[in-house]
Amino acid sequence: MKILAVDTATISCSVAVIDKETLLAESTMVRQQTHSKHLMGMIDYIVGLSGLAISELDGFAVTSGPGTFTGLRIGMSAIKGLAMATGKPVVGVSSLDALAMQAAPSPYLICPLIDARREEVYFSTYKFEGGYLKRQMNESVMPPEDVVKYLDEPCVFLGSGALLYQKMLKQMMNKTACFIPPFKGTIKASTVAYLSMYDFESDDTDDIKTLVPYYIRKPDAEMA
């Protein structure tokens, strides 16, 4: 199964094409620019680099959140447009699930943290059980110091929130906090594609008409 995956949930932008478990092509960049300036160009480049045509793809995957409101909308709009144009299925993947998978194969509790601004983080906790990633709690948003209240065992942190609040987390958790190298805290589209594969194979894809970003909290404008 050939899948094109996109991630625009955070400041990074990533595009990949996989064929089953083989990565054919991938590009990831981090820039202080809106993803709308380069996403479609990246998709065109990576699909071409994979040696495939859009019509040869079997489906599309995209991070559905949580993350930045504008970034999520850009990535999802692009993928939904391609899916509608080609008639191919689409799967939305949690950005926290993708981050947690990049901590594999940790024997410890995994806690991906995405900077949610306003001194908060998006987070959840995970464990690898029987070779599979299992989410231990619902995805939430809260101040990083409150996250620690849910952690009563050694924990591996990664993601933009982990990098931003590393000093605080180390002080609060002492020696029970470990941190994945920063480059692994950037979501890779290949991880998104891999996580989507089970849903494609089990025909558990998303309805294009109802698939929307999962923000967790309301945009600032609505809260105001």
- What is each CA distance from 52 to 25, 42, 55, 188, in whole angstroms? 10, 14, 8, 20
Q: How many helices and strands (H and E) does the chain possess?
A: 8, 12
Domain residues for the domain of 37 are: 2-95+187-223
Residues 211 and 132: their CA atoms lie apart, in Å, by: 25
Number of domains comprising the chain: 2
Identify whether residues 31 and 90 lie together within a single domain.
yes
Cβ-count burial of 168 within 10 angstroms (0-12 exposed, 13-18 middle, 19+ buried)? middle
| Tens digits of residue pLDDT in 37-47 | 999 999 999 99
Identify whether residues 42 and 89 lie together within a single domain.
yes
Identify whether residues 26 and 67 lie together within a single domain.
yes
Residue 3 carries which side chain, given as an amino acid letter?
Answer: I
**For residue 18, what pLDDT is reported?**
98
Identify whether residues 82 and 49 lie together within a single domain.
yes
Identify whether residues 108 and 169 lie together within a single domain.
yes
Identify whether residues 73 and 17 lie together within a single domain.
yes
pLDDT band for position 1 (50/70/90)?
very high
Identify whether residues 51 and 20 lie together within a single domain.
yes
Query: Residue 134, Cβ neighbours under 10 Å: how many?
Result: 12
pLDDT band for position 224 (50/70/90)?
very low
Tell whether the model's pLDDT for residue 67 goes beyond 80: yes
Nearest Cα residue to 144 out of 104, 114, 176: 114
| Tens digits of residue pLDDT in 12-51 | 999 999 999 999 999 999 988 899 999 999 999 999 999 9
Identify whether residues 162 and 206 lie together within a single domain.
no
**For residue 32, what pLDDT is reported?**
81
Q: Which helix (H) or strand (E) holds 145?
A: helix 144-147
**For residue 135, what pLDDT is reported?**
97
Contact in structure between 28 and 58 (CB atoms under 8 Å): no
